[in-house]
Amino acid sequence: MSIYAFQAELSNGVNISLEDFKGKVLLIVNTASKCGLTPQYEGLEKVFRTYKDQGFSVLAFPCNQFGGQEPGTDEEIQAFCSVNYDVSFPVFKKIDVNGEHSHPLYHYLREQAPEDSNVDTDSRLYQHLRNNFPQILESADIKWNFTKFLIDQNGNVVKRYFPSTLPEVMENDIEKLLK
């Protein structure tokens, strides 16, 4: 099984198979518009534009499960991404990434990569989680907005990155997969 077994709806309501991305290196990320990490959209767009012609894409899945930081409609989210960050990579409909209503893709991603890499234990986010939600740090659950999953050209999960990991930090890993 790979991510190609899943489908998802784009923000405009079009349902697509992730098999449409077969042969590409992907960075799948749960996003939010009103989060301290929201400026990562800029880095995600930069990395996308740098590598898209080499077979790379970012797939954004907005989620409102962390502090209510993605309250808008799918149309509002898409407009926010376009106006504020000139996002040109696919943005999907808002989904849940944890819990009984989590999107099947995210259930699969959590199973395949249950632990985050690049965890910055000195970051404000890590300290917040440790102080307020210590159990989440020990689980396979998505920890917060902007958790990222790197996927190879065959649809396999290669690595999971902690939310505070900047997209630019992942460029070496992306380049290795593109070669």
Expressed in angstroms, the distance from the first to the final Cα of the chain is 23
25 to 3, 111, 157, 174: CA distances (angstroms): 12, 19, 10, 7
39 to 34, 105, 136: CA distances (angstroms): 10, 25, 24
Q: Are 118 and 165 in contact (CB under 8 A)?
A: yes
Q: Are 84 and 92 in contact (CB under 8 A)?
A: no
Catalytic residue among 29, 35, 95, 157: 35
Task: Establish whether 63 is a catalytic residue.
Answer: no
Please identify every residue annotated as catalytic: 35
